[in-house]
Structure 1
């Protein structure tokens, strides 16, 4: 297990969402990291530039300053480049969507997380990789857990160029005079998804089949090279224990379904297989 108590060459990648949402925490993290190591600070403006910066990191250890989406983006890029196993990541969590980072053991607070980057040690963590080359660090859930308002705003892909276009349209189209004050309309929240008919197989063994509607399915990578699978059939009710199994390969199939992998909602798909990759992610965390 590698430790990083000595000065290191860091590539500090500050996600644009973090800069907009909490500039003070970003400044603190940058100051702590720059004081403790030779740090090159990069401020990418979007996903494409984020990818270019990460690909050109050279021998520097990447440090992601941002939320769960920034972390999962970095992991996905390294996986696609087949460099995840050789690269050790660090993270300073900044933003509102930080459940995945905290579940992995990344400290809360900019100062504590930045110090862990400098003085922590590498820990190898299991991940899930699906048959479309997607990577899951934390929990996978079917149906997807609803997005928070902050996550929905990010998922909507509102980028600077889109805001520029909207501003231009407002400039070119004259506003209509109104004698009454318009009230803002809030879109109603989507109804919760109903039961689904899915076949869930763990290492080739069927845990639940299409004839049994299910309320929820969750898959979480364990620390022993396996995934924990939990299925709640509709007939069990809220008080009963769900069906559970552990295995390296999980396949879900059936009617079109969506799923939430970390901070991203994906689908609809009719079949998806996830395989546990033991120790695939190297993440610097505080000493135990």
Structure 2
């Protein structure tokens, strides 16, 4: 993480309110909007209904400083959009965290109360932060986790199964019975993640395919390097984690899924992340 670069100004703001924030906590959205409108010389408010309108609003910001009101996904979406537009380096982003998923925002130093976060937008300072960029041009603000944490299915319309017909229930019951009779798999495989991976940091192998692992984490560290932690599968006594730092991290092996910030991606056979030092600016409390 780099030092504070410049003081944030509160003259002209483009406030983009994520639709999820409006649905989950309209009162916090209203409070934040009122504080921002009272403290800025000029405030333009956008209420996008989806990702495409969200992208258009950011793209048409002109000279206004963008302020996103939303959760971790909205924060990551804004950074990813500015990165793809190659405008991230020149744009200081401000965020008022609102919603249920705010762990990333808090870890970056953003206040999670509407009033405090809005005041930080007006009175805070821009801090340059490191960014992980993968070989598919995806961005990571906080951390990569392999294997990914299993995602629960939501209510109807959000990943839940459709109504099941009686004949299908019979088939599903038979499949579950057969599955229960199979031998148990290793811990890593049963968790849905890879059992064996090759992890390379700056071209040097930290762990190879012969060593089963429980998990791998990659986090932007300080000074333009990533911090890598590999947790080997232990037999008997607990195995010590393997740690390393470097600018380029490549993970390969059997098909695996990974969680980057709030998003699960994959399966892939290989993925490379490169640290971009001071690649983006975030307004934080002074």
**TM superposition score normalised by structure 2:** 0.84
1:197 aligns with 2:201: no
1:25 aligned residue: 28
In structure 2, runs of 5+ residues without a counterpart are 163-175, 177-189
CA shift, 1:194, in A, is: 5.2
Does the 8 Å contact 1:78/1:84 carry over to 2? yes
Q: CA RMSD in A?
A: 2.3
Does the 8 Å contact 1:32/1:111 carry over to 2? yes
CA shift, 1:281, in A, is: 1.0
Distance 2:87 2:103 in 1: 25
Give structure 1 regions of 4+ aligned residues with deviation exceeding 3 angstroms.
Answer: 146-149, 155-158, 236-240
In structure 1, runs of 5+ residues without a counterpart are 159-165, 167-187
1:78 aligns with 2:82: yes
1:35 aligns with 2:38: yes
1:117 paired residue among 112, 117, 121: 121
- Equivalent runs, 1:68-217 vs 2, <5 Å: 68-147=72-151, 156=158, 192-193=191-192, 196-217=195-216
- Equivalent runs, 1:256-271 vs 2, <5 Å: 256-271=255-270
Partner SS, residue 6 of structure 2: coil
Q: How many residues align?
A: 255
1:67 aligned residue: 71
Task: Summarize deviations over 1:74-132 as a string: whole Å, max 9, x none.
Answer: 00000000011011000000011111111111111000000000000000000100000
Distance 1:119 1:208 in 2: 46
Partner SS, residue 275 of structure 2: strand
Partner SS, residue 210 of structure 1: coil
1:276 aligned residue: 275
2:14 aligned residue: 11
Does the 8 Å contact 1:195/1:234 carry over to 2? no
Distance 2:259 2:158 in 1: 15
CA shift, 1:156, in A, is: 4.4
Task: Summarize deviations over 1:178-218 as a string: whole Å, max 9, x none.
Answer: xxxxxxxxxx9xx6325521100001000000111110000
Structure 1 residues 140 and 63 mapped into 2: Cα distance closer, same or farther (>3 Å)?
same
CA shift, 1:226, in A, is: 0.4
**TM superposition score normalised by structure 1:** 0.83
Structure 1 residues 195 and 267 mapped into 2: Cα distance closer, same or farther (>3 Å)?
closer
